[in-house]
Chain A
Amino acid sequence: DTGVSQNPRHKITKRGQNVTFRCDPISEHNRLYWYRQTLGQGPEFLTYFQNEAQLEKSRLLSDRFSAERPKGSFSTLEIQRTEQGDSAMYLCASGLSGVLGYTFGSGTRLTVV
């Protein structure tokens, strides 16, 4: 297992387009998290899955954002009608219930032009 994998590493898109990011967690991890990090800020929590169930969503996750984790394995984060304010690093992390801490991926850097 090579850790948490995120694709793509970088994405440049025009305002108004839809984008989708993928996260492949460590295979035995049942928890998966999405965070967003903008310049000068720490990672901000977006959403959390336990297996395939989305258990918590931040208020930051507007109606244009949707995340899925079908079958409790990989997850996708889709942003519809992107805005310049969506430009950020999107981080995925996975972990195990009952075990403190997560393993992070390298992130997907989104630039909306």
Chain B
Amino acid sequence: ILNVEQSPQSLHVQEGDSTNFTCSFPSSNFYALHWYRWETAKSPEALFVMTLNGDEKKKGRISATLNTKEGYSYLYIKGSQPEDSATYLCASSLQNDMRFGAGTRLTVKP
């Protein structure tokens, strides 16, 4: 059974601040690490999928890193905007299913 932990649980930042969240996961039986962004009343939206130790992915102002040996991933948001407000979920997957953390709820104040 996978146990994925995310921190912090919630975060309030001012517009323009840069921020980061942590996802930790069991490093044994690792297959892939996923980040999703979930806005209220919408579908969770896939941000990144990473598989290799040392992977770094970037999408606009958002980037993520992966350390499979120690079992953690960081998600960074540079220059946060109010539209970045959402819950950010990470999930560790084996081949057939994903196990999610509880998410980090980000609120960006104008």
Contacts and interface: CB of A to CB of B under 8 A. Distances in A.
Real complex partners, A and B?
yes
Interface of A: 3-4, 31, 33, 35, 40-45, 48, 55-56, 91, 100-107
B44 A42 contact: no
A104 B96 contact: no
A55 B98 CA distance: 14
Contacts of B99: 45
Given A31-B96, A41-B102, 6 more contacts: A42-B103, A100-B93, A101-B34, A103-B43, A104-B36, A104-B45
A45 B43 contact: no
Contacts of A55: 96
B43 A43 contact: no
Given A42-B4, A42-B89, A43-B89, A104 B43 contact: yes
Main secondary structure on chain B at its contact with chain A? strand
B49 A91 contact: no
B72 interface: no
Contact of A43 (B41, B49, B100): B100
A44 B98 CA distance: 9
Considering the complex of A and B, which 5 residue pairs feature the smallest CB-CB distances, nearest first?
A42-B100, A104-B44, A104-B43, A42-B102, A100-B49
B43 A101 contact: no
A23 to B, nearest CB: 12
Given A56-B96, A100-B51, A3 B102 contact: no
A43 B6 CA distance: 13
A45 B97 contact: yes
A61 to B, nearest CB: 13
Contacts of B91: 42
Interface string B32-50: 1010100001111110010
Contacts of B100: 35, 42-44
